[in-house]
Amino acid sequence: MRVLVTGGAGFIGSHVVEALAARGHEPVVYDVRTDPASDVRDTDAVRRALTGVDAVCHQAAMVGLGTGFADAVEYVSRNDLGTAALLTAMADTGVRRLVLAGSMVVYGEGRYECERHGVVRPGPRAVADLEAGRFEPPCPACGAALSPGLVGEDAPADPRNVYATTKLAQEHLAAAWARATDGTAVSLRYHNVYGPGMPRDTPYAGVASFFRSALARGEAPRVFEDGRQRRDFVHVRDVAAANVCALEASSVDGALTAYNTGSGDPHTVGEMAHALAAAYGGPEPVVTGEYRLGDVRHITADSARLRAESGWKAEVGFAEGMREFAEAGMRTA
């Protein structure tokens, strides 16, 4: 297949390009990093780039939690307007196969269970609780402690920040496009992606990048809250392989299918910081008790559906991946 990869010069996109080429496909990079005219929001430019293309891997996006609500217009413009322009061009040119870089942030908080009330969905954490160091969300019915678990794709969406809201909107746009064109759309809901080529020293990167950037400066990684937040750190090569599997697998015409895309091996943020610092040979992490309003406490999801339906599985283990990441180069943007 000839595959247009939006954001193909970026962190995840560049790995997707390599994985596609390794499988014998022909990737076409569409990225403002390599060509300022390649803005995904420009429908005419995208339409020209789609000439002779069989499918699209849409990786272009503004990522991360950001620096506050002041970023909302930019997030919506890049992520949602950009996706709408791309899908419009695909509808016009007859390209009917899409793989979207989705995100687990659409779920908000993860799956929780109360001994008394069963599976519950806690609301956003209160500032007063966070200030007092009470980071675990309580049962919304009785206030008791909760046990976190794995989220399935059928869990209701509950985005807790601007970035998460734009990622959910991307899925809705892709679903509407698929219905209108009888196209096939897959959203890979990425977990915490890390690995070689991750951007450094930017407020829009993920927590792994923050820690690795600090170590490169000779500083201790600063771990927010108490470091016990659960996440699924998935290697970028595994995510790239998932994109190829999603492209090659048969999908339902006229519909969007969402797949959780994680390693299946959850760890706490504190564990990740210690593993990375030890592998790098840098200072021990510092647990600060600070927080970001809009962060969720625990979010780990079940990726069994993607494994069962596409044959994909994560290959890079946590310890191996952290050792490689500690030594890998990083990009400036």
Distance separating alpha carbons of residues 142 and 317, to the nearest angstrom: 38
CB atoms within 10 A of CB 120: 19
Stated pTM of the model: 0.95
Neighbours of 60 (CB within 10 A): 26
Amino acid at position 176, single letter: A
Q: Which residues contact 188 (CB under 8 A, 6 or more apart)?
A: 99, 100, 101, 102, 239, 242, 243, 246, 259, 261, 306
CA Rg, the chain, in Å? 20
Average pLDDT rounded to a whole number, residues 304-331: 95
DSSP calls for 113-147: EETTTEEE---PPPHHHHHTT--SPPPTTT----E
Q: What would the pLDDT profile of 111-133 be if each residue is shown by its tens digit? A: 999 999 999 999 899 999 999 99
Has 163 been annotated as catalytic? yes
User: Could you give the CA distance from residue 48 to residue 231 in angstroms, rounded to a whole number?
Assistant: 40
Select from 55, 100, 105 the least CA-distant residue to 82.
Answer: 100
Nearest CA to 208 among 190, 191, 195, 227?
195
Are the beta carbons of 238 and 316 closer than 8 angstroms? yes
pLDDT band for position 69 (50/70/90)?
Answer: confident
Predicted confidence (pLDDT) at residue 147 exceeds the cutoff of 90? yes
CA dihedral for 41, 43, 44, 50, sign (positive or negative) = positive
Q: 163, 190, 194, 291: which is the annotated catalytic residue?
A: 163
Q: Under a CB-based contact definition with an 8 Å cutoff, are residues 230 and 266 in contact?
A: yes
What amino acid occupies position 80?
D
Q: Is the pLDDT of residue 26 over 80?
A: yes
The stretch 1-26 carries a mean pLDDT of 97
Encoded tokens for 125: 């954490």
Task: Determine the pLDDT at residue 149.
Answer: 95
Neighbours of 249 (CB within 10 A): 17
56 exposed, middle or buried (CB, 10 Å; 0-12, 13-18, 19+)?
A: buried
Mean pLDDT of the chain: 95
pLDDT at 300 over 80: yes
Residue indicated by tokens 């990726």: 303
Q: Is the pLDDT reported for residue 333 higher than 70?
A: no
283 near 220, Cβ under 8 Å?
A: yes
The domain spans of the chain are 2-111+149-327
- CATH superfamily for 2-111+149-327 is NAD(P)-binding Rossmann-like Domain (3.40.50.720)
- Give the per-residue pLDDT at 204: 72
Distances (CA, A) of 256 to 97, 158, 188, 253: 10, 18, 11, 8
